[in-house]
Amino acid sequence: MRLLLALGNPGAKYRDTRHNIGWWLADRLARRWGAEPFRTDGATAWATGSGRPGVEIHKPLTYMNRSGEALAALRAARRFDPATDILVLVDDVALPAGRLRVRKRGSPGGHNGLASISASLDSNDYGRLRLGVGRPPDERIDLAAWVLARMPRAEEEEALGAFPRAVDAVEYWLDHGVEAAMNRFNRPG
């Protein structure tokens, strides 16, 4: 069992915000793998596709800051090793729009969704694919307001332009593991 945990917030109000870029990628992966529509089961909406048997794509419905609650429910129902079998798809303000970075472990770096997951696992040892959404252009802009806002069209196009590479990174992680994916995709380009 391999799990992709795409962080975001449920509801139309949040659908097109920077914080939901993980959900955007989850939707792209579901289409690529021929998944049926996401179905709700407990604390997540989830899908599987014939293109990747044994892989589940989950979108926590607990809101970003409580993503760990959804993961705890998954751990109670499924057998997996968080260090090798989970890849979290998450927005990252430290990366410009259109950039991505694969990580094997690390601190939440101020991201409340990752902090919730780390608390739930009592560990920072789980894979993540960080998707760049950029920093506010002015330090007076509240970071929470920034990630909960929609990207301007040009930035959104840059972010979406990285999705083919992000899809490749996820598939490479599935086939070769997180360290191999880090070596291959953590280069500029």
Q: Looking at domain 2-185, what is its CATH homologous superfamily?
A: Peptidyl-tRNA hydrolase (3.40.50.1470)
- Report, in angstroms and rounded to the nearest whole number, the Rg of the chain calculated over CA atoms: 15
Give pTM, 2 decimals: 0.96
Q: Which candidate in 19, 58, 111, 176 is catalytic?
A: 19
Look up residue 164 and give its amino acid: P
pLDDT for 51: 93
Give yes or no: 176 in active site: no
DSSP 8-class letter at 124:
S
Q: What is the pLDDT of residue 41?
A: 85
What pLDDT is attached to residue 187?
74
As a whole number of Å, the end-to-end CA separation of the chain is 31
Instruction: Say whether 29 sits in a helix, a strand or coil.
Output: helix
Distance from C-alpha of 175 to C-alpha of 38, rounded to nearest angstrom: 23
pLDDT in the model for residue 188: 62
* pLDDT mean values, one per 10 residues, the chain (189 residues): 96 96 98 96 93 96 96 92 97 95 94 96 97 93 94 94 98 97 85
Query: Regarding beta strands 44-47 and 55-60, do their DSSP bridges make them parallel or antiparallel, or are they unpaired?
Result: antiparallel
Is residue 92 within 8 A of residue 101, CB to CB? The reply is yes
How far apart, in whole angstroms, are the C-alpha atoms of residue 17 and residue 31?
A: 20
